[in-house]
Chains A and B, each alone.
Chain A
């Protein structure tokens, strides 16, 4: 006997017409209006196969390569990792880690060793079978003293990788890490086929992903076609995908409205209202893990005094900046770099809001009646950084703080200003776990510790929480760490920026993942033509 769920499936696959569905629903006691909506939803949520989709990316340069040690921006990440490759694990729409090329993941010995049982029957685009050797080669490529990879520091804790039969890989870490599977989902570590000599082959472009490499002009466009042997049945839905690099935002927007592309990333916030009015365009907005920061170096005066730092945190009107500079497409921060959607995230108290009186109070506690500081900033830090700094300057005046804005050149900002000047601006794309975010930026001695934060309590908690497998204990530790950073740290987290993207209404999708742009960079695999 059929029930309404079976009927929905039949409707979705086109085997039941609207008339049949409604008749059935009426018999089941569901009203006509409700049945109509159900039918519409069932049809929309079931992916249809076919079509050639074109995506307009905001990045891409002539210096891009297929080498996963690089993949500097969406111009390579979306086509060559998200569409063409797989990592061992992936982050789903809810921010949880799920298996991609593995059957199971088992922590052993206090999460110091991880056993990954690999998926069977997976083949690379060139026909080679997927085995443990490929995993070992792919990971070793990023490790070792001569590696130029951006993932080198990520994998520093891995002391050994061994195969235990053709289907099992054992990772040995220098310290317990309950979040190791998250690290495996990084876009720098796609699984590459191993060459006969044991090294990884990234040059041929043969991977395990949903689409197969067809042609590529770096900085211009990449064409991929459907992989008929993809290990996720039913996916992908498109027959062919093309990724165009459209760096100029007006060209990108026009390309979408004139139908040259079906999706664009990084919409222009200033004209978003006009784009919304276009009846053929839908806007998607996701609050991800990315955030914009003003990091202060806590070992350089005057930022070495915690009251000065707190005064500066209170002298900033984050709400106004979010509304005026980001047009409301950003969530005001609270000096906690952990995004609200991440597991174990808390909102430390008190929420830093604009309060010139409190700022003055903390200045007095530090023994000053007014304060003069330099802020080195450029739009290279994040779009709108200079404007945000100017607004900040005005806000801080009411608290007796005189911020001197030093406008730095965009070119060379990351070499000369970030990590060098005692107060500047920056951005983070965020990480899906507390440990990863803290280790990358706030651990004592980390390469990117922009605030030179070196709090022994924070550091000891960091190491303890990493190998802690009891969720309740972990939650307590991470809560304490977030509160510490909020009260004592040198970073001002201005806002969590939303990913604002637009697509033609011809495309359909499920819930969008928050970890990276373009639906976790996997838009080609996850979306379909409605």
Chain B
């Protein structure tokens, strides 16, 4: 069997095990948090009778292990359950399924992540190559300083600064990224401009530095020396001889950052009030809405697993020794 197929199957199998483990950990952690959904919903209005009535409706009066296996059984059949906020009589026939809650938010997050990635990845790669080409010059040092500074600042700080200068002082962009499912594509793009810019500033440094380091690391190898002695231009050296061998570490870093774009941007979502999946997860944990939390956790875990898998496939494909093993 080709090594790629073997790796993919192995990884997918391990990935499933990981998902299973993640779901158990998250479920029992949230169950152990003080309070439950009924109390979170009723807030100050929670009296013992109303909480008990609530619990009975949404099935929280059963023991946690039983609830977990019920949920697992549902998932294996493709049913992620309903949000606690719409169970029983609260749904009244319009129960909000976890998927219907997550889907639009996930779509929003993927849109923003895609937008940020489409800008950040080419930018980082380009800057990395340039920095490697002109290593040691002012240009190289400048790029490094700027990107390292932007990654050192907390992302809410970057977000507020961008909002201050680009939305409040000079009203170029919108300060609110509130979108709804029927917002037209261009307007969605325009509203996401500031959040995307924030995210770009936050992730460029890591990818750029890795590209630069990876390329520079290869420059001292014998075949590069040979290419240089042949009289090739620096650009051709970099792009045709060094870069194809540098992909493995670069791909890993890019995958990590892309996963972060989907999973870790709740702060940016809060500051720009963007309805993404990060905020949904945080809200659901505060409200102890366990089915939604489980759904989000599974999606996040799956994201990491798939992106890491892609990175590994890319490493194999770009390395002939791994692609055609003896």
Q: Which residues of A contact B (CB under 8 A)?
A: 61-65, 67, 70, 72-73, 145-150, 152-153, 202-203, 215, 217-221, 244-248, 250-251, 254-255, 257-258, 260-261, 411-412, 414-416, 447-448
Contact = CB atoms under 8 A, between A and B. Distances in A.
Nearest to A258: B175
Contacts of A217: 104, 180-181, 275
A405 B86 CA distance: 40
A522 to B, nearest CB: 21
Given A63-B283, A150-B45, A215 B180 contact: yes
Given A147-B53, A244-B178, A415-B39, A219 B90 contact: no
B180 A254 contact: no
Given A62-B280, A248-B270, A415-B34, A153 B47 contact: yes
Interface of B: 33-35, 37-50, 53-54, 57, 83-86, 90-94, 101, 104, 160, 163, 167-168, 171, 174-176, 178, 180-181, 270-273, 275, 279-280, 283-284, 286-287, 289, 292
A152 B42 CA distance: 12
Contacts of B174: 258, 260
Contacts of A202: 92
B313 to A, nearest CB: 35
Which of A61, A64, A72: most chain B Cβ within 10 A? Answer: A61
B178 A221 contact: yes
A67 B160 contact: no
A146 B55 CA distance: 11
Chain A binding surface SS class: loop
A81 to B, nearest CB: 14
A63 B175 contact: no
A281 to B, nearest CB: 13
Interface centre among B34, B83, B171 (most CB of A within 10 A): B34
Nearest to A250: B160
B50 A147 contact: yes
A248 B284 contact: no
B148 to A, nearest CB: 26
Given A72-B41, A219-B280, 8 more contacts: A62-B101, A62-B280, A62-B284, A70-B42, A72-B43, A152-B47, A219-B279, A251-B271
B270 A247 contact: yes
Among A148, A220, A254, A260, the most chain B Cβ lie within 10 Å of the Cβ of: A148
Given A148-B50, A219-B283, A203 B175 contact: no
A493 B217 CA distance: 68
B271 A248 contact: yes
Contact of B49 (A64, A73, A152, A220): A152
Given A217-B104, A219-B283, A148 B53 contact: yes
A251 B33 contact: no
A251 B273 contact: yes
B289 A63 contact: yes
Nearest to B86: A65
Contacts of B42: 70, 72, 148, 150
Nearest to B93: A203
A145 to B, nearest CB: 8
Contacts of B40: 63
B61 to A, nearest CB: 13
A407 to B, nearest CB: 16
B288 to A, nearest CB: 9
B83 A63 contact: yes
Contacts of B47: 152-153, 447
Given A203-B94, A255-B176, A152 B85 contact: no
27 contacts: A61-B287, A62-B83, A62-B287, A62-B292, A63-B83, A63-B84, A63-B85, A63-B289, A65-B85, A67-B90, A148-B53, A152-B47, A152-B50, A153-B47, A203-B92, A217-B104, A217-B181, A247-B270, A248-B270, A254-B175, A255-B175, A260-B174, A411-B286, A415-B34, A415-B35, A447-B47, A447-B48
B223 to A, nearest CB: 53
B138 to A, nearest CB: 37
A63 B91 CA distance: 12
Contacts of B171: 258
Contacts of A215: 180
B41 A70 contact: yes
